[in-house]
Amino acid sequence: MIRAGLGPHRNCDQPLAWLADRLARQDSRGHELREPGMEEMIDIAALRSSVADVLAKECDLEAVVRHTAHNTGPLMPLWATASALGWMALAIPEQHGGLGLDVDALVPVYEELGRRAAPLPYLTTMLAADCLGRMAPPDRQAEWLPRIAAGDIATLSAPLPVTPACLTLRKQGDHIVLAGEAPDLVDARDAAMILVTAIDEGGVTWRVLIES
């Protein structure tokens, strides 16, 4: 179901757009210049240790090999644990059920998941959440972001110009029809929300959210 066109495609949709802002907030020695906030209340080392402990118990090499030998999707028991522990809520704004941390707070989670080759759609879900937070109108953010914070899986197609828009939007009576194929969608089979890029009849590029 197409719920809404989030808005014309913009550069802020780039997955690494936050990097430029981060570099702009560093001093000459590369140290971050930041205002006191929630990050100072979170022990990043403790977060890393907690994530590592969970993965050691639920995602050792044997578990990964056993799972990937018969499945291509996420390790759902581990995803349920991650949801219960609030990993998906780290960078979601507080008003939408998250902790409101900077994207930097996700780094130890990414690193520990990569260290274990954990079969979880964490990166795609967090990138989709970031895109929604930047582009969706407030009422849609209030609808969708709490679901991601609570554990819904989301994914998105690569932004322009990495991947050309292969989908089209056109009016058909009172409806808007989305047509075409979206290649290289990661974790789409298990996603509750999918963000794709489409071009309308006027040549404007849009991000569109599909609920699956």
**In which band, very low, low, confident or very high, does the pLDDT at 90 lie, cut at 50, 70 and 90?**
very high
Q: How far apart are CA 5 and CA 202, in angstroms?
A: 14
Structure confidence by residue, pLDDT tens digits, 119-156: 999 999 999 999 999 889 999 999 999 999 999 999 99
CA separation, residue 170 to residues 3, 65, 175, 207 (Å): 15, 45, 8, 14
Q: What angle do CA 79, 84, 88 make, to 5 degrees?
A: 65
Q: What angle do CA 61, 63, 67 make, to 5 degrees?
A: 120
**In which band, very low, low, confident or very high, does the pLDDT at 164 lie, cut at 50, 70 and 90?**
low
DSSP letter assigned to residue 73: S
Lowest mean pLDDT, pick from 8-12, 107-111, 187-191? 8-12
Q: Could you tell me if residue 8 is left (phi over 0), alpha (psi between -120 and 50 degrees) or otherwise beta? A: beta
Q: What's the confidence (pLDDT) of residue 162?
A: 57
The answer to whether the CB of 103 falls within 8 A of the CB of 18 is yes
